[in-house]
Amino acid sequence: MNCSACYDLLLSPLERRFLSACRSRLCAGLSGQIVEAGAGTGLNFSHYGQHCRVLAIEPDAAMRERACQRANSHIEVVAGRAEQIPLPAHSVDHWVGTLVLCSVNEVAAVLAEARRVLKPEGRLHLLEHERGSAAWGRVHDLLTPAWSWLSGGCHLNRRPRLSLEAAGFGLDSWETVFRVGGSPFQMGSARSV
Ligand SMILES: C[S@@+](CC[C@H](N)C(=O)[O-])C[C@H]1O[C@@H](n2cnc3c(N)ncnc32)[C@H](O)[C@@H]1O
């Protein structure tokens, strides 16, 4: 079993309990040109509707291979990084990221690139976990170096909402959808302001 199969297996309890419904909500009603950053094994793909043209970017070869198996004719999976999207400026209707800002090296560079490709009326959609508050936050700070090493780069102590605001996005919606191990999982959408 390679690491992409492990990813699906490890995530499956959360997927069944919470994530699949969140992915479905996040993708509902999207249409036009979509960029999915860090598509992983393609767990969002079955939630996109027929009117979506999805460019799914994934740097990890094993994850990408599994994503290709889940792709359909509306979805193109490419190697690359969210810091450099192979599309012109202002050409994208929706930028989608699920559990990805926790894993990228440079959150600010990824969000700047999302702003570059999004149309003025375009939207960014995120599902992310955030550093817990108070004692949980300190636990997440302590665990992050080991967890990041074990999980291939995931940081438990990021604050996606603050990163969005710092990058010049205004929130249309933002809510905590469930909690695991003191981490609020949050989803919402935002636009360039
Ligand atoms: C925790 S996984 C999430 C995968 C998928 N989005 C999901 O919801 O299951 C994080 C993914 O981000 C990818 N990733 C890491 N750095 C990235 C970058 N700079 N640009 C795009 N994807 C990146 C990893 O290879 C991994 O597949």
Query: What pLDDT is recorded for position 2?
Result: 62
Distance from C-alpha of 159 to C-alpha of 167, rounded to nearest angstrom: 12
| Backbone torsions φ then ψ of 190, nearest 5 degrees | -150, 160
Domain that holds residue 150: 3-192
Residue 132 Cβ < 6 Å to ligand 1? no
pLDDT digits (tens, 9 = 90+) for 82-102: 999 999 999 999 999 999 999
State the CATH number of the domain containing residue 58.
Answer: 3.40.50.150
Number of domains in the chain: 1
Residue 189 Cβ < 6 Å to ligand 1? no
pLDDT score of 1 more than 60: no
- If you measure from the C-alpha of residue 131 to the centroid of ligand 1, how many angstroms do you get, rounded to a whole number? 18
Strands (DSSP E) along 61-149, which ranges?
75-78, 92-98, 118-129
Phi-psi region of 38 (alpha: psi -120 to 50; beta: other; left: phi over 0): left
Looking at residues 117-136, what average pLDDT do you find?
A: 97
Q: Which residues of 73-103 are buried (b: 16+ CB within 10 A; e: fewer)?
A: eebebeeebbbebeeeeeebbbbbbbbbbbb
Q: Which of 45, 64, 66, 100 to mutate to test the pocket of ligand 1 (most atoms within 8 A of CB)?
A: 100
pLDDT digits (tens, 9 = 90+) for 37-59: 999 999 999 999 999 999 999 99
